[in-house]
Structure 1
Amino acid sequence: MTERKKRLRTGAVLAILAVLALLALWCDINAGYRSISLEELGQILSGTASRSLTYTLVDLRLPRVLTSLLVGVGLSLSGCLLQGVSRNDMADPGVLGINAGAGLLVAAFIVFVPAGLFPSAVALPVLAFAGSAAVAFLGWRLSVVRGASSPRRLLLIGVALATGLSSATSLLMLRMSDGDYAFVQNWIAGSIWGASWENVAILAVGLALLTAGALYASRTLNVLGLGEAAATGLGVNVPRARAA
């Protein structure tokens, strides 16, 4: 296949996926007790719609829909990176214990920090990111043998960390009230109920930065997929690249 045909095929696939994404967004926007027609959407865009209709779409549904879309982008991006580093198609944030690290710190925050001391809208994302990063670093560090990270060892250690951290989270949740227990359970399950434009902004900025970094590292990931010997022969510092 020539280079031009590859580009045309890639462009066609991206165009089809973009159309499907727009259709999925439209279906998600109308997934509620009240559907929104194209005519009403035009009224909202022109500012002539009723206040209740505008509130339903702009303040309730759009933040939820865009949050779920961005979360999906983040999960696919992280899975792609982890699979490239570990050279294993089963690697993802759940298998490697990264999600469990986020859940543990969120549960610890609710159990040990008095309510109202810190704003949860800011504290929970920061703690979740810190827990994820700590577990990712710990898993990578434990997988290093003789100065090199072992992909198979990384996967096995990740499974062990996920099991242990999930058990610790369950123990903490036993100390919670019914309301806090339900909140953490929904948070871990991935509920997007109550998503706001603040969530959309945080996700958009974070994903923009991380996507740029992933695209910059894409060639290195492709070389790592050839194996350590081939990557080293092509001039890649394999331990440093995996750590990054």
Structure 2
Amino acid sequence: MNKNQFISDVSLLTTSSNSLVGKQVLNLSLAESTMDEVKELAKLGAREGLVLIADNQSMGRGRFNREWLTTSGQDLTISILFKPALNQVHMLNMVASLAIQETISEITQEEAEIKWPNDVLVNGKKVSGVLIETVMSTATHVDFAVVGIGLNVNLNPLVMDAIKDSATSISLITGALTDKYEVLSKLLSMIDRQYQLVLQGRDLCIDWSTKVSTIGNKVKVSNGSKIISGYAVDLDSVGNLILETKQGRVTVTSGDVTVI
């Protein structure tokens, strides 16, 4: 990474003196992947809470290595460095998706919802997604985790055939262009608040479950070539989805969910 790529003008970002997330924010004009950049910085000793934002990504990815589409310089593609204990790793998804849900709901005045496991929707269309990658040196020691967030701020999905029917953005919801740095400032504050609760011993699963709209629906879960259908009846203590199927209850740890 060339340090001269960094852009220092993130003056709209504000964090409190007690904040952990967002104390250091690096803004790149171009990155292959913010996830990979933060991993590199973590290996060099970067502190927990580091945030990296890129105006453009040439190899941005979502879950299952899918391409994440954005509008150049108009949307948020960020990655955040965390150094949680092993028993806190599962709550990083809850931290991020709860914070995104709160941020979008507050800005748009529309109730956002979480589609299990980590998409955030408004009126049934995706506005944000979360990717988490964890690096462990042993089976019981977490070196660090990187949380990647893609959030459609001013994206116009109508000009992108691949997502025109399934995605939306803050600007489409509100009818006005939105400053992405104002969104980022609010989002980082929300993430910091949720993560501080985790560090204080709070279990976020109950809070998170109230925002997961998947519960109560008949769904199909696809994971590679494996497909499971049933009623989404509950979440377990670490956020896995519990399905009631013809063969009995099944716990699903990952996959793509479709309401049927």
TM-score scaled by structure 1? Answer: 0.25
TM-score scaled by structure 2? Answer: 0.23
Q: Specify the structure having the higher radius of gyration (Cα).
A: 1
Higher helix share: 1
